[in-house]
Amino acid sequence: MPADLLATPDLLRSVFRRHAAGVAVITAHGDAGPVGFTATSLASVSAEPPMLSFGVGTGSSSWPAIAAADHVGVHILGEHQQELAATFARSGADRFAPPTAWREGPEGVPVLDGVLAWLVGRVVTRVPAGDHRIVIAEVVLGDPTGTGRPLLYHQGRFNRLRD
């Protein structure tokens, strides 16, 4: 088998650059204040009970707060929020400083303003998966009433949905 087909981190990244994904921001309240990060690994897990999952790197600055959090916020970003997605993806950024608009929501979870939809979930478990953890949360409440079209991530860039 050719060496460029063998499983490597580069192969995985190359394949998943071709997979268009919705963009979410995950938030939690940590000991030092709010934390959050951009995620494209969000998935619906179960309808009964309503559950979701996302991946988080154990080396990320958000991991200690996510590791200890009882509840997390999940925000579906709109195409008008490319800068917000970039801010929450950037290492070392002050993610909750202006111009980020947010408020303390249910269970103390930071809730971002202007998103297409948001959920608050109670963390059920954190499953080890290589250098990440898969967090599974049961949805407690949310708001699906934001307006606009979804933000997508494809080929290493944030994109808009085309008709």
What would the pLDDT profile of 81-110 be if each residue is shown by its tens digit?
999 999 999 998 899 999 999 999 999 999
Q: Is the pLDDT of residue 16 over 90?
A: no
* Predicted local distance difference test score (pLDDT) of residue 150: 97
Q: Name the region of 130 (left: φ>0; alpha: ψ -120 to 50; beta: rest).
A: left
Cα dist from 144 to 78, 113, 116, 118, 147, whole Å: 12, 12, 7, 6, 9
DSSP class of 60: S
Q: Is the pLDDT of residue 4 over 80?
A: no
Residue 46 one-letter amino acid: S
pTM of the model: 0.93
* Predicted local distance difference test score (pLDDT) of residue 1: 67
* Predicted local distance difference test score (pLDDT) of residue 97: 96
Q: Is the pLDDT of residue 127 over 80?
A: yes
The rounded percent of the chain whose pLDDT value lies above 70 is: 98
Residue 51 · residue 138 · CB < 8 Å: yes
All residues at 6 or more sequence positions from 105 whose CB lies less than 8 Å from its CB, including other chains: 73, 111, 118, 120
* Predicted local distance difference test score (pLDDT) of residue 63: 97
* Predicted local distance difference test score (pLDDT) of residue 162: 83
* Predicted local distance difference test score (pLDDT) of residue 116: 98
* Predicted local distance difference test score (pLDDT) of residue 13: 85
Q: Is the pLDDT of residue 37 over 80?
A: yes
DSSP class of 78: B
